[in-house]
Amino acid sequence: MRIYCVDAFTDKPFAGAPAAVVALSVEKPDGWMQALAMEMNLSETAFVLPRNAGGYGLRWFTPTTEVDLCGHATLAAAHVLWCRGEISGRSIVFHTRSGELTASKTGDSVELDFPRIDPELARAPDGLLVALGVENPVGTVRAGPDYLVEVESETVVAGLCPDIAKLAAINMRGCIVTARGAESDFVSRFFAPPVGIDEDPVTGSAHCALGPYWSAKLGKSEFYARQLSLRGGSLRLRLAGGRVILIGRAVIVWEGKITV
């Protein structure tokens, strides 16, 4: 089996969100996949398996658990399949725990067709704002498995130093913190210690909620977004009915062979 490390939502190595992509030829036990994801210790490890009926099965694991949806590892998996020469067409269908997801190649970028997550008004759970170090949020909503907290500026988002141990004790997948951007439509950071990710470098699935959230505020349906993690990354997105189209690039940093 070949394994690849791919930096996603970036056009240069050592930036964006790194994901491991494992090209399977046969199904492997869940425990084996989880153990390999822990061994890789990246925010996501993707496992891709061709299906006889067409398309590819795709599963995503953090170091501690399997997740229902992941943007950057899907982008990484699609990029690997095109670079390996396994796909001659311009689109790939992935069969996942979130249904069918389509990746389409457009020039040097990949477009991901993902489900839209419409935020719902909700108060922040006890301890969340204290753990984030946010005193006066602009607003708080529930965004699928996550909470989304808007703060007053990009400077506040960039300067956050949350208490990871306190965040890990809150009943959620993760927390998105966002604000209007200085050179982009909006910026964000994403913290998910409950699923083994202190801070995710670039989070495609979070933008499935960020797109609808900022559409209601800005009155538009296409965005340029930046995620202000230490590595940093960017993507474009547009709303398309009940879907969100995420657009980004990826770079293979290294590849190897799994011997166990």
Specify whether 52 is located in the same domain as 78.
Answer: yes
Specify whether 57 is located in the same domain as 82.
Answer: yes
Task: Write the CATH number for 217.
Answer: 3.10.310.10
Reduced to 3 DSSP states, what percent helix, strand and coil does the chain have, rounded to the nearest 5? Answer: 20, 40, 35
Query: For residue 38, which amino acid is it?
Result: M
DSSP string, 26-50: S---HHHHHHHHHHHTSSEEEEEEE
Structure confidence at residue 178 (pLDDT): 98
pLDDT value at 86 more than 90: no
Token pair for residue 54?
A: 């067409």
Where does the pLDDT of residue 89 fall: very low under 50, low under 70, confident under 90, or very high at 90 and above? Answer: confident
Specify whether 22 is located in the same domain as 91.
Answer: yes
Specify whether 79 is located in the same domain as 177.
Answer: no
Q: What is the pLDDT of residues 108-156, one digit of tens each?
A: 999 999 999 999 999 999 999 999 999 999 999 999 999 999 999 999 9
Specify whether 93 is located in the same domain as 183.
Answer: no
For residue 117, give every residue at least 6 positions away whose Cβ sits within 8 Å of its Cβ, in sequence order, or none.
143, 144, 208, 209, 212, 244
Q: Which domain holds residue 220?
A: 120-237
Predicted TM-score of the model (pTM)? 0.94
Specify whether 96 is located in the same domain as 128.
Answer: no
Q: Which of 37, 5, 46, 21 is nearest to 253 (CA)?
A: 5
- Please tell me the distance from the alpha carbon of residue 247 to that of residue 72, in angstroms, as a whole number: 10
DSSP string, 181-223: -SSSSEEEEEEEGGGTEEEES--HHHHHHHHHHHHHHHS-SEE
Specify whether 124 is located in the same domain as 232.
Answer: yes
Domains: count for the chain: 2
Q: Average of pLDDT values for 161-187? A: 97
Specify whether 87 is located in the same domain as 134.
Answer: no
Structure confidence at residue 87 (pLDDT): 85
Specify whether 147 is located in the same domain as 68.
Answer: no
Specify whether 66 is located in the same domain as 127.
Answer: no
- Please tell me the distance from the alpha carbon of residue 255 to that of residue 209, in angstroms, as a whole number: 32
The residue count of the chain comes to 260
Percent of the chain with pLDDT over 90: 97
Specify whether 127 is located in the same domain as 210.
Answer: yes
Of residues 44, 111, 150, 199, which has the active-site annotation? 44
Query: In this structure, are residues 226 and 233 in contact, taking their beta carbons and an 8 Å threshold?
Result: yes
Query: Does 100 participate in catalysis according to the annotation?
Result: no
